Amino acid sequence: MVRRQGTREKEIRGSAGYLEEPWRATEQDLESERRFGLGSRWLIRCVHRFVIWITRHWLAMFNLAVGMVLGLAWLAPWLMLHGQASVGQLLYLAYRPLCHQLPERSFFLGGERPWYTFEQLSAALGYDAPARYVGNPQLGYKVAFCERDVAIFAGYLLMGLLFALFRRRIKPLPWQALLAATLPLAIDGTVQLFGLAESNWQRRIATGLLFGLAVTWFALPWIQRGMAEAQEIALRSWKEEDAHDGSS
């Protein structure tokens, strides 16, 4: 019995050779725990505020982003016309991943015509118009993306503004209608891609605008529902956190 007690005493001795006292929380430990709790609650509140802000302003951010993309595309030729070629070229470069930028399928600003066919451009230049041709002071300068993309983004923006005014009345477009609105663009683009027929600016504008309106009509009401649910969850969690703080 004595041997067992001595063995147990050795097991609980510390490295310094004396018996260790049971751990007790010090004032410093309690203060650290309190600060950690305050920091955690502050972080949670910040997350709640951020989520609520996003759910209340997401549509304004969407419309602003689409408007900037559309506006900067038209700013590129304006800069070229006003002697800011370096900035204009940067915008053309920035839009290159978004669009083929073919000059015969793009609007022109500040020239003889607002659009040209490939034959018209080649005749004016004296050689086949390059795919990356930007323009000149006589012909004007092209918009940074094509006519169809201009129409698509215009449709995004138009429906975004309409939804901002009438979001409670606008229901999601049925997926069958979305598919039907996509078919004209798909057919026109495919026929042009395989050289079966050359599209024109009227068809590009019509099919692009229809597609842009349909996509946002389908998507925005669903996004609004998701944002409303996220806002409700964040507000409920915030109130629960406030109630917990008040009771503690």
Say if CB 77 and CB 115 are below 8 A apart.
no
pLDDT at position 202: 94
Going by C-beta distance under 8 Å and a sequence separation of 6 or more, which residues neighbour residue 101?
92, 95, 131, 132, 142, 144, 145, 146
pLDDT at position 197: 83
Going by C-beta distance under 8 Å and a sequence separation of 6 or more, which residues neighbour residue 63?
157, 160, 161, 164
Burial of 14 (0-12, 13-18, 19+ CB in 10 A): exposed
pLDDT at position 2: 45
Residue type at 67 in one-letter notation: G
Domain ranges of the chain: 41-241
pLDDT at position 211: 97
Say if CB 98 and CB 145 are below 8 A apart.
yes
Q: How far apart are CA 221 and CA 170, in angstroms?
A: 7
Would the pLDDT of 33 be above 70? no
Plot region of 175 (φ>0 → left; ψ -120 to 50 → alpha; else → beta): alpha
Band the pLDDT of 244: cuts 50, 70, 90.
low
pLDDT in tens, 91-146: 999 999 999 999 999 999 999 999 999 999 999 999 999 999 999 999 999 999 99
